[in-house]
Amino acid sequence: MTLSKLAGASMRSILRNKMRSFLTSLGIIIGVCSVIVMVAVGSGSQAQIHGQIAAMGTNLIMIMPPRGARTANRLTLADIQKLRAESSYAGAITGEVRMSGTNVVGGDSYWTTSVFGVEPDYVKIKDWPVESGEFFDDRDIAIRSKTAVLGTTVASRLFPGQDPLGERIRIGTTPFTVVGLLASKGSNAMGADQDDVVMVPLDTAINRLMIDGRINSIEMSAVSEDLMTAAQVEATSILRESHKLAAGVDSDFTVMNQSQIIQTASQTARTLTALLAAIAGVSLVVGGIGIMNIMLVSVTERTREIGIRMSVGARRRDILLQFLSESVFLSLLGGCVGIALALAVSFCLQRFLDTPTLVRPSVIAASAGFAAAVGIFFGFYPARKAANLYPIDALRYE
Amino acid sequence: MAIIELRGIRRHYLVGEITIRAMRGIDLDVGIGEFVAVMGPSGSGKSTLMNTLGCLDKPTEGSYVLDGLETTGATPDEFADIRNDRIGFVFQGFNLLSRTSALENVELPLFYDRSGSRANPKKRAKAALEEVGLGNRLDHMPNQLSGGQQQRVAIARAMVKDPAFILADEPTGNLDTEMTLEVMSLFQELNDRGKTVVMVTHEPEVASYAKRVIAMRDGAILSDAPVGERRRASEDLAAWRKRHALLAGEEGSP
């Protein structure tokens, strides 16, 4: 008995019970489809994060307190001044302090938002243009002027339908004058609204709005892409000196370049993707159990057929292969339909719900392979049960 | 030359704690071209004998040489090959695959052919069906065929690999008189062409179409004798049809 004959016989037997075959495969269809869609959504948002970070420019360097460490944040304004004074590879530099959940009062209303203390280079590094008015400059930093630049969300909340330029707002208890309006940036990969922000000069923020005076992060660009590594090494040594760290002591800050930032940012997305895929994988296993169930019923129902086949000379192996190939076919068919469905769902998500999706060929291949494996694994027991029937008993079965 | 040689065949079943002796030492020779009917009441061991002859069951004791091949030590796979290669089965319940065309049913033994024959299975199956007079029913499903036609498909399936002998288990048990005569005349026709037939039946009229009748009782052969007045099923069929037509004619006339 050749493989093609076997495949033909299994195919005929599946087509003989179209409805049942479809319902049996449904578990696999749903399983494969959800695995692919989940991974596609995960990869899509990962790709979007990559894209957004890459858009910031390839020569971006970020200096942050060490991740997850218990060491206190020791980045200060003095560090920035030292970097600016001594670094020969740094282009633009800005410190950044972030105060989320700050009440801002203006116009006739108030709004709870994030207040960022930054330096003029910030808009250059982030490539974030000012729509109207202007961003504060070095002079504002020097005199700690109480000027603020609003994100579009904040502007529309406090001054709906009005031009906010020149208006007075109060951050906490300190009054500020609105000097500029940022261009709208939309939401980031995690869905947070990036326009829900008020920017004030870094020195003003530290002296007027904060208590501890610690910088959340320093962002700088290297003068050119080739000098990224040099700039990183240089920044590290300047900051170690500034923090008076002896040789051999761990740095109390982290210097990351573009690709390291991307890595960190996509870590979460990747974990989430894996989790979603695992949950979807469970449904694939449940689908496999469905196949096993139907195959067991099928073996009982077709006991007489098995007897007939044995009486005309089918060996045990022939019976085993017949039933095994039927279950593999069922799950493969389910896999193919599931893949098609997943492509359609991913397309619709992207097209109509603006959810970025990315379907990788490797994921398709893996889920098709997994579907076949499920067919073999869950089809083996029923097939063996069929093959081990005794010819006489099978023939007499009513 | 004997095609079937049974020597001292015993078959014991253990049912609970009781041993049932279904066959108690059977010796039997069947030669090429014979037409043997095995008769006996239920429990006489004729089904067990049938299973043994069909290589569906292994005797507890004794030797069975089929067409010169000792089958006693055969493995299940070898048994399967023997069934495929040397035995053509015809059952009481036809045992055709449902929702499978007559042609595909007849092709089934060729599907499991391991001899590496290169002959076109479709052509061979078609030829076998033509031989039993069903050349115009190739694509019919079993449920579209009469009982007699289904049994003829089963006979074509038994014949398609040109086996050493045909083993028929109550082949007319589910058939009315006309179909019984049809099937028996087909068996006689095949036998006339040299095919060996072994048939289990409990109807004496059916047995009278064979050449030799073996009566069994309590797991042993009670008698083994040639049929004295052998009847021709084709003649009986013609007579039956004539009488039937006559009866129908009388009913129809005023």
A188 part of a folded domain: yes
Domain range for residue B98?
33-58+72-252
B219–chain A Cβ distance below 8 A for any pair: no
Is the same domain home to A206 and A83? yes
Q: Does A67 reach chain B within 8 Å, measured CB to CB?
A: no
Judge whether A258 lies within some domain. no
pTM: 0.69
pLDDT at B23: 87
Say yes or no: A226 and A105 in one domain. yes
Spatial distance between the Cα atoms of A14 and A327, rounded to a whole number of angstroms: 9
Reduced DSSP (H G I as helix, E B as strand, rest coil) percent helix, strand, coil of chain B, to 5:
40, 25, 35
In a domain, A61, yes or no: no
Q: What's the gap in Å between the CA of B98 and the closest CA on chain A?
A: 9
| Nearest-angstrom CA–CA distance, B139 and A215 | 85
In the listed set A200, A223, A252, which residue is the last one of a domain according to the structure?
A252
Structure tokens at B79: 């048994």
**Among A59, A56, A52, which Cα is nearest to A266's?**
A52
**A314 in contact with B at a CB cutoff of 8 Å?**
yes
Exposure of B21 in the CB half-sphere (CA atoms within 13 A)? 10
B43 within domain boundaries: yes
Quick: pLDDT tens for B178-189. 889 988 999 999
Q: Does B94 touch chain A (CB under 8 A)?
A: no
Give yes or no: residues A88 and A11 share one domain.
no
Nearest neighbour of B80 by CB, restricted to A16, A304, A315: A315
Q: Do residues A179 and A313 both lie within one domain?
A: no
Q: What's the CATH code of the domain at B237?
A: 3.40.50.300
A309 chain-B contacts, CB cut-off 8 A: 108, 112
Domain end (from A221, A252, A283): A252
Is residue A239 domain-shared with residue A134, that is, in the same domain?
Answer: yes
| Per-residue tokens: A205 | 């923020």
Give the pLDDT of residue B153: 92
Q: What is the pLDDT of residue B35?
A: 93
Q: Is residue B65 part of a domain?
A: no
One domain, residues A148 and A246 = yes
Query: Which tokens go with A340?
Result: 């098609």
Task: Write down the pLDDT at residue A57.
Answer: 65
Pairing between β-strand B87-90 and β-strand B165-169 as defined by DSSP bridges: parallel
pLDDT surpassing 60 at residue B253: no
Separation in Å, CA A387 to CA A95, A310, A316, A370: 74, 9, 5, 25
CA B95 to chain centroid, in Å, comes to 12
Give how many domains chain B has, as a whole number: 1
- Does residue B63 lie within any of the structural domains? no
Q: Hey, is the C-beta of B96 within 8 angstroms of any chain A C-beta? A: yes
B235 pLDDT higher than 80: yes
Choose the closest CB to A311 out of B56, B98, B99: B56
Please tell me whether residues A128 and A36 are part of one structural domain.
Answer: no
Half-sphere exposure of B214 (CA within 13 A, CB side): 22
In a domain, B84, yes or no: yes
Instruction: Give the contacts of A346 (CB within 8 A, at least 6 positions apart).
Output: A36, A37, A40, A41, A357, A359
Q: Which residues of B touch A304 (CB under 8 A)?
A: 95
Amino acid (one-letter) located at B144: Q
User: What pLDDT, on a 0 to 100 scale, did the predictor assign at position B188?
Assistant: 93
Phi, psi of B103 (to 5 degrees): -60, -45
Mean pLDDT of B84-106: 87
In-domain check, residue A199: yes
Neighbouring residues of B48: CB distance < 8 A, sequence distance ≥ 6? B11, B22, B23, B57, B219
**Per-residue model confidence (pLDDT) at position B211:** 92
Check CB contact of A16 with chain B, cutoff 8 Å.
yes
**Residue A310, CB-side half-sphere exposure with 13 Å CA sphere:** 29
In a domain, A57, yes or no: no
Which residue from B76, B77, B109 is facing A312, i.e. has the nearest CB? B109
Q: Structural domain tally of chain A?
A: 2
Measured between alpha carbons, how far is B174 from B182 in angstroms, rounded to an integer? 13
Q: pLDDT tens string for chain A (398 positions)?
A: 567 777 887 888 788 778 888 888 888 888 888 888 888 888 887 777 777 776 666 678 888 887 665 566 778 888 888 888 888 887 888 888 888 888 888 888 889 999 998 888 888 887 788 888 888 888 888 888 889 999 988 888 888 888 888 888 988 888 999 999 988 887 765 667 888 899 999 888 888 887 677 788 888 888 877 778 888 888 888 888 888 877 777 777 888 877 777 777 777 777 877 888 788 888 888 888 888 888 888 888 888 888 999 998 889 888 898 888 888 888 888 888 988 998 888 888 877 876 777 778 888 888 888 888 888 888 899 999 889 888 888 888 77
SS3 (DSSP) at B231? coil
Q: What is the rounded CA–CA span in Å between residue A397 and residue B3?
A: 30
- Domain encompassing residue A126: 66-252
Would B5 be classed as within a structural domain? no
**Chain B interface, best mutation among A312, A318, A397, by max B CB count within 10 A:** A312
Residues A233 and A271 in one domain: no
| Beta carbons of B201 and B174 less than 8 angstroms apart | no
Least Cα separation, residue A313 to chain B (angstroms) = 4
Contacts of A16 in chain B (CB under 8 A): 99
Give domain status of residue A58, yes or no. no
Q: How many residues belong to chain B?
A: 254
pLDDT at A274: 83
Residue B215 to residue B224: CA distance in whole angstroms: 6
**To the nearest whole angstrom, how far is the Cα of B83 from the nearest Cα of chain A?**
5
Place of tokens 């694939």: A284
Q: Does A397 touch chain B (CB under 8 A)?
A: no
B98 located within any domain? yes
Is A193 inside a domain boundary? yes
- Say whether residue B74 is in contact with chain A using an 8 A CB cutoff: no
* Nearest Cα residue in chain A from B166: A312
Task: For residue B57, list chain A residues with Cβ-Cβ distance below 8 A.
Answer: 391-392
Same-domain pairing of A149 and A290:
no
Q: Are B35 and B210 in contact (CB under 8 A)?
A: yes
Q: Which residue has the tokens 């009782």?
A: B217
Q: Which of A225, A252, A279 is the last residue of a domain?
A: A252
Residue from A15, A308, A316, A325 to probe the interface with B (highest B Cβ count within 10 Å): A308
Pair (A110, A188) in one structural domain: yes
Q: Which of A334, A338, A327 is nearest to A364 (CA)?
A: A338
* Same-domain status, A303 and A379: yes
A311 touches chain B (CB under 8 A): yes
Q: Is residue A12 part of a domain?
A: yes
Identify whether residues A47 and A98 lie together within a single domain. Answer: no
Residue B169: inside a domain: yes
- The answer to whether residue B135 is domain-embedded is yes
A235 touches A226 (CB < 8 A): no
> Of A258, A254, A193, which is closest to residue A50 (Cα–Cα)?
A258
A308 and B96: CB-CB below 8 Å? yes
- The interface pTM score, or ipTM, of the predicted complex is 0.90
What pLDDT is stored for residue B198 in this prediction? 94
CB contacts < 8 A, A to B, total 59
Q: Which two tokens stand for residue A276?
A: 């979603």
